[in-house]
Amino acid sequence: MIYLDNAATTLHKPEAVKRAVWDAMETMGSSGRGAYPAALEASRMIYETRELAAEFFGAPSPVSVAFTSNATEALNIAVSGLIRSKDHVICTQMEHNSVLRPLYRKEKEGAQLSILPCGDQGIPDMSKLPELFRKNTRAVICTHASNVTGDLNDIRTAAELCRENGVLFILDTAQTAGSIPIHMGEMKIDVLCFTGHKGLMGPQGTGGICLGEGIRIPAFKTGGSGVHSFDREQPGQGALVLEAGTLNGHGIAGLHEAFSFLKQTTVEAVREKEQKLCSYFCREAARIPGVRLYGNTETKERAAVAALNIRDYDSAAVCDELAEYYGIAVRGGIHCAPLMHRFLGTEKQGAVRFSFSWYNEMEEAEQAVLALREIAG
């Protein structure tokens, strides 16, 4: 199988990631729940992973990082903990339902929501962001890259405008963590939400939220912590107050090795390879009669994601054809990004999404182009 659905999850992982999960299943105790070697080693490994994550994302300290099950949970924590009933919040038309649905729920509780529309080629114009600011604007929440088209948001401009106006900037890095360099301090990001199973090439069921200097979020859930058991409120320093219950230590062990792999390989090297594959694919696909690509596929400043349609063919039918006859795994449909598809005019047809990773090769991109050419013909 040629796997080109990496925007959903990376199927192929570094060998060290797989070994770490297996070893943890064999040896790991419960972090913070004992003073015996298996429990202490679990605590050390989890803290080391916090250190790696803080360094990777430019977070203020290891205790600024709380682990979650994925980016969706991290975004729910951010929205639930930071947006109040009388606040105004802004997001973009690019957003995934993991941003939109928590915000719609906040609207029902009395919060106000504004959506920055897409401009040319489906990219929000951040220079128009100040027009949406109000006296009660609490935060701007946006994705780093569209999970449909791969286009990047201008997050530096957005973060700078937020800082100038005393507004929080919350970033969803689901499509960029691991493949595009990100630094919270340099980019003025107040809250960063990430998932482990995509560009980071870690296990499913892992992710996290990183809090900038001075950002505090109340406990999202409460329960066991292993310490201060007589306290009525959830204990925890910094972001650790967000972690109630036993963590996914086995998954975090894999995430530890994923961060280590990327530190050694470098995000820049990953980005260069993915860009090369995606640029080739987009260039060749655009030459096929009947194929329509979405977004700005001519720039290299994008995630390694390409969405297209072939004439009026249903996107799910094209995906089935690619899988059954060519052994190529891609994703069709709406990709949990309804506003983006509404902008593109693909609410009914959906789109066929190809997404590349470090473990793809040029021969696979070439085979995908050949398959498209045959189907279109």
Give tens-digit pLDDT for 221-260: 878 767 666 777 776 777 889 998 889 999 999 999 999 9
- Asked if the model's pLDDT at residue 2 lies above 80, the reply is yes
Instruction: Quote the pLDDT of residue 31.
Output: 81
Give tens-digit pLDDT for 6-32: 999 999 999 999 999 999 999 988 887
Better-predicted residue by pLDDT, 57 or 121: 57
| pLDDT at residue 306 is higher than 90 | yes
The three-point CA angle 75-81-87 to 5° equals 100
Q: Are strands 168-172 and 112-116 parallel, antiparallel or unpaired?
A: unpaired
Q: Which residue from 205, 207, 203, 200 is spatially nearest to 263, judged by alpha carbons?
A: 200
pLDDT score at 235: 62
Between CA 173 and CA 199 the distance in angstroms is 10
User: In 10 A of CB 107, how many CB atoms?
Assistant: 13
Residue 52 pLDDT more than 70? yes
195: its two tokens: 């998932």
- 7: Cβ contacts below 8 Å, ≥ 6 apart: 147, 150, 175, 198, 303, 305, 331, 335, 353, 355
Gap between the Cα atoms of 357 and 4, Å rounded: 8
Are 150 and 295 in contact by the 8 Å Cβ rule? The answer is yes
Q: Which residues contact 101 (CB under 8 A, 6 or more apart)?
A: none
pLDDT classification of 35: cutoffs 50, 70, 90: confident
Distance of CA 273 to the CA centre of its chain: 19
Instruction: List the beta strands (DSSP E) in the chain.
Output: 2-3, 65-68, 88-92, 112-116, 137-143, 168-172, 191-195, 207-211, 291-294, 305-310, 328-329, 352-355
Position 121 confidence tier, pLDDT thresholds 50, 70, 90: confident
Q: Which of 334 and 42 is assigned the larger pLDDT? A: 334
